[in-house]
A and B are shown apart, each in its own frame.
Chain A
Amino acid sequence: MSIDVTVKIGGEAGQGIQTVGTLLARTCRRAGLYVMAVNDFESRIRGGHNFFQARIRDQVVRAADDRVHLLVGLDAATDDLHHDQLVPGGLAVMDDASKPSGDKILPVPFTALAREAGGKILANTVAAGACLALLGAPLELFQDVLSEQFKEKPGVIQDNQKAAALGYHAVEKTEFPHAFAWKETAPKGMLLSGDQAIALGAAAADCRFSAFYPMSPSTGIHLHLTALADRLPLVVEQAEDEIAAVNMAVGASFAGVRAMTATSGGGFCLMTEGLGLAGMSETPLVVIDAQRPGPATGMATRTAQADLLFLIHASQDEFPRFVFAPKTLEDGFTVTVRAFELSEKYQVPALILVDQYFIDSLVLVDTPLQAPASLERFILEPAPEAAAGYRRYAFTPEGVSPRALPGRSRALVVFDGNEHRDDGHTTEEAANRTRMVDKRNAKIPSMRKEMHPPETFHPDAETILVGWGSTYGVIRETVERLREKSIDIGHVHFTDLWPFPVDPGKAALATARRRITVENNSTGQLARLLRQETGIALEGKILKYDGRPFYAGELEKRVRNLLEEGS
């Protein structure tokens, strides 16, 4: 029998929900299980209600489900808010102080046992011990994960192991119908988080400079880069604001290293001026936008896919750029590597759209990530005799001018954010202006050829769901579930969004009778883009813009409702 169990651990900010959730995921990895976890938290340091939801399977899992088998509550809200998600035979294991009894409730004295183990702070570990006991996991497995996690703090290991054992033994006699057999096996794959996937991709692409200003949900990308910086030729700088961050990245790239910045929508608003400078001066630049709901501050720790059209158009006037939205965490690694390469090849900005759901997810990945073995830098080192004639913006048929670096040869390298002649010096001359705009735009046909077609799954079905970026996993699972129920449905998913891959995009959408866009925004931005670029108007929309991601069961219901309405 296949395993598909969802555990939801809830509590207040500061109770260590994420820590214990990550430990649970590591325990699954040790047992050769697949896991996909989402972090749902509020923009506060203490209090409120947060949860970590892990779906454990014995096959690849790419979406969170809304059916919960085991609720683990460090606060009363865990049961109050999520009890109705429990499946038949499901159970809420609650701290006895917050929920002494009730239907499908198993009270356990988490806090009292934590005090016995060494302090109230260990309540999360007690709860994890209880959770694993109910799932049928061997205690030793969890004890091993704890020793590894706290290997630099022996005292902490002991207290945590004691807390885990107390939680474990408190419930081990309880029959839990959704328990499953845990095999003794080698650990499987790696646990990858979204922010880590992007950071690893940047490092793999030989990014050597990253500047940032802290902003949820993007900050983790820089924390992961910082963790790598001591071992790689990499400088990570916390700038005074996002304007400085993007301009530092432009400066570093101009001087010759691959450079990036990452932010969320509000920070990206501040970066649009610098983005235009990269566009005008033809300086390579990679910017990651980890989307959250807006406008303005919006909801800092929630998710959205509402910056697509903004990124395609950001900054005044017109200039070529790449826009990508990785569909899975592994794809986040690969797309980031490609973004650096393409940005340098065409001397244009490359923008990557992820979101809070993507960034804060944790997924077990079973294929090792591969760094490229070699890089092409697309940089010219003019010979001394050629240096005197060097012209930064020399006109070429494909629009890309050979790029030399300042201070590396006898060439005078002049970059300009004003309209300029081919030697980089400012001019307002009319014919030159037209020619320079045409030169920059001349890159677009070659850039478009670099774009990958959308991924398709039964595109010739009667109905297709169309999506972009992080919703890939949940859409695919929904389509698979519906196909098992004999519904003729397929999936078309875009990662490469700009320059829009017109011909393959059209082809993917051509056959289905009913095409439904699925997006985390309120207007259906992909549908608008598709209509603009292909002339195809999609027949339906499933939109969610409450700041939360789609869950598999939820999306399945919404698709069924839409199909029933229309039949």
Chain B
Amino acid sequence: MIPVETYDIDNENEWCPGCGNFGILKAVKKALSELDIPPHEILVVSGIGQAAKTPHFMKCSGFHSLHGRALPLATGAKIANHALNILVHMGDGDCYGEGGNHFMHAVRRNIDVTAIVHDNRVFGLTKGQASPTSAPGMITKAQPHGVVAGAFNPLAVALVLGAGFVAQGFSGKPDHLSALIQKGIRHKGFSLINVLQPCVSFNPVNTHQWYAERVYPLEETDHRTDDLPLALQKAMEGDARIPIGVFYAEKKPSYTDRLPALEQGPLLDRPFAPETFQTLLDALF
């Protein structure tokens, strides 16, 4: 086991005191430490938002990219070198709003990355507008009469699109979350871990206390992770009681497992063979 301090970095952490992101970061470091993945063997790709600052707040290789675009960027990186261990950190607006189309297609491709979505049901960095996961009726400065649109249900959407690993954690339970992240990293294929977290600055509704009163671990019920209709039922349970844990897990070949060009190892490691190509060229002539 790698000491968890190994991932600590000497950068100022810009998150608000009390932010749910701290619990998530703690869970990530603990997971990597227990899986024995050293900083230089982990790649954190992120979008834009408070969540997406993660690669600056821990030791790792990283690409802090664009709002909404972390998943296609991670997809390209994974195809180029499928030996990379990729965590994708995004917020709810980042992944489900700006990147909604990419999210759906990353699930369809079953690209082997672990998506950790910091879901605080609000836009934090732009100071408090509704996000795709905000509950209808939520009042913000931008939605003074309350959110009109229905909430996006990431777990249900991922399940319906055939995701092989769908889980939900809570930033207030970092040990539980850390176990989910470890399972997500071990899962070969797209893993979605939606993490419920408070936004202490801009979401006065879904607070730490609010979640703490509602979440219950699926492991403590008779939930089975191989039952898709049951997983979907759990994903659609609503806000009265909120399940956390692994909703659904199914082994299936990941995107890079199915590409013939990658059978001989990472694309990056294939030798440059100009003579093969010259033969192809000469055949045209």
Contact = CB atoms under 8 A, between A and B. Distances in A.
B64 A254 contact: no
B84 A254 contact: no
A409 interface: yes
B40 interface: yes
A166 to B, nearest CB: 32
A274 interface: yes
Contacts of A410: 40
A413 B61 contact: yes
A244 B102 contact: yes
Interface in B247-283: 259-262, 267-268, 270, 272-274, 276-278, 280-282
Contacts of A273: 66, 69
Given A247-B65, A256-B80, A373 B274 contact: yes
A397 B184 CA distance: 44
B203 to A, nearest CB: 24
Nearest to B255: A237
Contacts of B40: 387, 407, 409-412
Nearest to B60: A412
Given A235-B262, A406-B43, A209 B76 contact: yes
Interface of A: 189-190, 192, 200, 203-204, 206, 208-209, 211, 228-235, 237, 239-241, 243-245, 247-257, 259, 273-274, 277, 281, 368-375, 387, 405-407, 409-418, 424-426
Interface of B: 11, 39-41, 43, 45, 48, 53, 55-56, 59-66, 68-69, 72-81, 83-85, 101-102, 104-105, 259-262, 267-268, 270, 272-274, 276-278, 280-282, 284-285
B61 A248 contact: no
A250 B76 contact: yes
Given A417-B65, A424-B62, A190 B80 contact: no
A453 to B, nearest CB: 28
Q: Which 10 A-B pairs have the closest CB atoms?
A: A251-B76, A233-B270, A248-B76, A252-B76, A255-B80, A251-B73, A406-B61, A244-B72, A255-B77, A247-B72
A122 to B, nearest CB: 28
Contacts of B274: 204, 206, 371-374
Given A209-B79, A231-B276, A251 B63 contact: yes
B53 A426 contact: yes
A257 B62 contact: no
Given A243-B69, A244-B102, A424-B62, A407 B41 contact: yes
B270 A251 contact: no
Given A407-B61, A407-B84, A209 B45 contact: no
Nearest to B38: A410
Given A209-B80, A229-B261, A406-B84, A250 B73 contact: yes
B285 A255 contact: no
Contact of A251 (B61, B75, B104): B75
5 contacts: A211-B76, A247-B66, A254-B77, A255-B81, A407-B84
